[in-house]
Chain A
Amino acid sequence: MDKISTSYLIRGKTIYYLPTCHSTNEIAHQMVEEKKGFDGDIVLTSYQSKGKGQRGQFWESEDGKNLLLSIILKPKELKAKNGFFLNTISSISLLNTLQDDFDMQNSFIKWPNDIYANNKKIAGILVENNIRDTYVDYSIVGVGFNVNQTQFKFGNTATSLSLVKGRALELFDVLERLISNFERLYLQLCNNQKENLKAQYLNSLYGYKKSIKLLEKESNHEFLGEITGLDEYGRALVNKEGETRAYDIKEIVFQDFQ
Chain B
Amino acid sequence: MKAKEIKDLIQFIADSGLGEIDIETEEIKLHVKRSSTTSQIVASVEQQPIISSAPAITTPEVNTQEKVQAHPENSGSKKDSASLDNLVEIKSPMIGTFYRAATPESDVFINIGDEVNKGDVVCIVEAMKLFNEIESDISGKIVKVLVDNASPIEYDQPLFLVEPN
Contacts and interface: CB of A to CB of B under 8 A. Distances in A.
A227 interface: no
A125 B94 CA distance: 20
Interface string B93-137: 111110100011100000000000001010001111111111101
A248 B133 contact: no
B105 A54 contact: no
A48 interface: no
B152 interface: yes
Interface string B74-107: 0000000000000000000111110100011100
B149 to A, nearest CB: 12
A81 B93 contact: yes
A131 B90 CA distance: 12
Contacts of A228: none
A113 B132 contact: no
B103 A81 contact: no
A102 interface: no
A249 B128 contact: yes
The size bracket of the interface on A is 20 to 34
A221 interface: no
A112 interface: yes
B127 A234 contact: yes
B97 A233 contact: no
B131 A131 contact: no
A55 B93 contact: no
Contacts of A134: 93
Interface residues of B, number: 25
Interface stretch (A82-90, A145-153, A186-194): A82-90
B94 A87 contact: no
B148 to A, nearest CB: 15
Contacts of B128: 84, 87, 112-113, 233-235, 248-249
Contacts of B132: 80, 83, 128-131
Contact of A128 (B94, B99, B133): B133
Nearest to A136: B132
A56 interface: yes
A130 B93 CA distance: 12
B130 A83 contact: yes
Contacts of A130: 121, 132-133, 135
A56 B104 contact: yes
Nearest to A132: B135
A80 B97 CA distance: 14
A221 B6 CA distance: 44
A167 interface: no
A39 interface: no
Nearest to A130: B133
A250 interface: yes
Nearest to A25: B131
A248 B135 contact: no
Contact of B129 (A131, A132, A137, A249): A249
Most A-side CB within 10 Å, residue of B105, B121, B127, B133: B127
A233 B103 contact: no
Contacts of B121: 130
When A and B form their complex, which 4 residue pairs have the shortest distance between CB atoms, in order from nearest? A80-B93, A134-B93, A234-B128, A112-B128
Given A125-B129, A131-B133, A234-B128, 20 more contacts: A80-B93, A80-B94, A83-B94, A84-B127, A84-B128, A87-B130, A112-B128, A113-B128, A128-B131, A129-B131, A130-B135, A131-B93, A133-B137, A137-B135, A233-B95, A233-B127, A235-B128, A248-B152, A249-B129, A250-B152
